[in-house]
Structures are given as C-alpha cells and as structure tokens.
Chain A
Amino acid sequence: MKPWSRARKYGHCHRALLTTLALLLAAGCTSSLNLKTRTEIPTPVVTRMPLVMGVHFDKKFKNYVYEENSEDRKNWHIDNSASRIALFKQVLPSMFKEVRLLPANKAAQGSTVDAIISPEVEDMQLALPSETHSNLYEAWIKYNIRLYRPDGELIGEWPITGYGKMEKSMFTSRGKGLNSAINQAMRNIGAKLALGFSKQAAVKQWLAGRNADNAYHAEVTP
C-alpha cells in the first residue's frame, strides 16, 4: 500500500473514532443533570401572629439533595438546599412577631420562644416534557412541618405539598425549566404555610390553650 493511501485510510479511521466518541460524550452529557436551584420568594402580605417562633433545620433537611441514576435519568443531582432554607427565612418572619434560628428543636433554658418549627423533606418528584408528552416542566415537593413546645414536646405535625409547572417554550434548557418549576412549587409551599398555619387543628388547639392561659394569668395577676 502506498504511504499516502495508508495515511488516508488511518485518517478516516481516526475521524470515525473521534466522531463516535464525540457522539457518545454528547449523549452522556445531555442525559446527566447537575443543578443548584435559585429561588425567588416574595415577602408574604399576611398579619403577623404575636408569637416568638424558633425554627430548627436539622442536618437531613439542610443536606437533602435529589439524586437519581436510572436508565432515563443518568447522574441527576439537584441541590435545592439553599432555596429551602431561603424559603423559610423569607416566609416565617412575615408570619410571626419574631423568628429565631435554633440549633435544636428544643429551646435553651430561659429562652422566651413560644414554639419551634422544624420542617422535614418527605419527597421531591420532577417531570420533563419529553417524559410526560406534555409541554410542561413539573415539580412536586412534600414537606412535613413539626411544631414543638419550647421543652421539645411535639405539639403537632402536618404535611405541606407544593406543585409547580412551567411551559417548555419559555426555557432554552432543562435546567432552567426545572429550576422554575421547583421555584413555583416552593412558592406554593410558602403560600400554604403562611395562610394555613393557624388553621391546622393542632395549632388551633395549642393557640386556644395559650389564650386560655394568658386570660387566666391576666385575671389572677393583681
């Protein structure tokens, strides 16, 4: 074989190999997803309750990350931990007279907090338009809200779910579409927390008990 034809033959092989590698790389890249969400939650317009509320984020809540490595979702890693904390830091101060961040779901002795809220991530589910054959990015998030007395005794707990959907046409990438759907779901959770807190049965009962105690002390105190 002449040298120039041998070189051309190997040149073709190299190009084919490089093209195949590039295609494989591209396929791998498009299916993996690494996302750190950014959330924008407005300040709620609600009446503040005259309570000093503690809030405790445990390690599980702070560190929860959505991870999936299946055939359809290879290497999915979605970290919305900063957004979760930001949601509660934005919503709770509008709901209560004062909010204090606590290291545990139990107040230190001598503390004047009236109760402690501690949220927990129960579940997070996501859907792409290509998976549901729709034109929507969707996110569904479920938290469990626990309310404790200052001594750590559980007053009550209830689930809060948030659903978000965003039109595919508004976004140029999966990451942006999912980020917006997650943001919408978190706004939903913030809204339900702000409007629904005082309507929870356990909270109503606790508040009624507090009001009764305060009225009694007002009567007794000379």
Chain B
Amino acid sequence: MPTMQKSHLKLLPLPAVCLTALLLAGCGSRTVINEYQGNATGKIRQNESVVVLGRNNKPDHETESDFIDCVGDSLSANGKHVKVIPQKQFVDSMYPYFEASTAPMNVKNLGAMIKNPAVAEKLSDLNLRYLIWIDGDTQTTDKKGSLSCAVGPGGGGCFGFLTWDDQANYEATIWDFKHLSLSGKISAETNGTSYVPAVVVPIPLLARVESHACESMARQISQLIDTPGAKQASN
C-alpha cells in the first residue's frame, strides 16, 4: 500500500509540470530594441501633443491600426506630459496632407507644408510637438502541428497540438514639429512562440508578441521625448 501511494504521488505532478513549462515558454517573448538619437531638442512641454501614425505607403503590408492605438495608449499612460492625438482625428483634420500617398516622407518636407497658412493654423490649434511614424508588422513565420475538433451527439472536443512562431518588426521615426528635425529612431524586434495543446479542451498559450513590441517601443519613445538625457542606445 505505501509503495502504491508513492508511485502515484511521483506520476501526479508530471502533467502539471509539463503544462507549467509550456505556459512559461509560451508566455515569454524576446524583444530587441535599437535606438538612434537625432538632434536633441528638449523634452515635451505640458500643453504640447504628439500623434502616432502608421506608414501605409507600401503595398505588401499595412502597419496594424491596433498596434498604432496600443503605442498611443501606452505613451499616454507612461508619459507625464504626453497628450496623444488619435490617428484618425489628426489625419482627418489635416486632410489631404497625411494620406498614404501624400504624406511627407522626410522631415525636411514639413517646412514646405507648414508654409500654407491654413495648415499652420491647424497645427497651431493642435499644438503638435512630435509626430511619430511607425512602420512594420507582425507576421507568423512558422507553423507546426495540427488540431482537429469534432462535435457529435454525445458532445464535442478537440485533440492535437499546434505551435507557431510570431515575429514583430517595427520602426518608429520621431519628428520634432517645432524644430523641423529628426529627434530619433527606435526599432523593436520581438519573437515569440505560441502553443495550443488540446485534450478535449484546447488550452491556448499565446506569446503576446505584438503587445510586447508595443510596450517596449512606447517605453523607449517616452524616455526619448518625455525625459531629458535619454539613453544613447540599448539592446
């Protein structure tokens, strides 16, 4: 009897250990941040605002709007003085200058644009200090396994194991509207693996690749524009 109890006790934690290991592995993502600092132009002031825009001039991909919203929300949450203008509100109020096909590609082109008195007035109303362009996307790079689900008169369930790798690559370019100069560039690369084991019930263990990239990037942008003497480069 004691021997049977011991062997039962030895076997019981094994599935829990495997599940915990998978949970920890699936939840982890690795982010690499690179930063380039341009002209140091001082921190953002209390009434000044920023806008985060997605670069969508390339036909093969579109910077996800939820990533743009995520960076904007994180900047608002992290920054003491950062007031973020929603992307749609800014693009609509500055129409037609920030459409995918008409948006300036270089900070030097801003000078010509703001010579238009109507544009200058709009920007003055918004009190815009920084314009942050984000280009990139999150892609699934590898997928393995299979999952099948069935429903019958007695009930239903799923069986199988699915895993996939996600890679997020984004670059933020920060323009200083007040000084018409490049304040800096930040790139974020995040990799993560998600798992979905299924024994009757699928258990999704998802690597939050896009949200990790968003949080890391927003933190770095906040340090660059909201704090004087931001770090030179970080890996």
Give chain A's interface residues, CB within 8 Å of chain B. Answer: 41-47, 136, 163, 165-167, 170, 184, 187-188, 190-192, 194-195
Contacts and interface: CB of A to CB of B under 8 A. Distances in A.
Interface residues of B, number: 20
30 contacts: A41-B95, A42-B93, A43-B95, A44-B95, A44-B96, A45-B94, A45-B95, A45-B96, A45-B119, A45-B122, A46-B96, A47-B117, A47-B118, A163-B59, A163-B101, A165-B59, A170-B65, A184-B100, A187-B95, A187-B99, A188-B99, A188-B100, A188-B101, A190-B96, A191-B96, A191-B101, A191-B102, A195-B96, A195-B97, A195-B102
B48 interface: no
A194 B118 contact: no
Given A45-B118, A47-B118, A195-B96, A167 B64 contact: yes
Contacts of B99: 187-188, 191
Interface SS, A side: mixed
Most buried by B among A41, A47, A187, A194: A187
A187 B98 CA distance: 11
A41 B95 CA distance: 9
A152 B207 CA distance: 65
A167 B65 contact: yes
Contacts of B117: 47
Contact of B92 (A42, A46, A136, A167): A42
A167 B67 CA distance: 12
A160 to B, nearest CB: 11
Given A47-B117, A194-B96, 7 more contacts: A42-B92, A42-B95, A45-B94, A163-B59, A167-B64, A187-B99, A195-B97
A43 B102 CA distance: 16
Nearest to B64: A167
Contacts of A191: 95-96, 99, 101-102
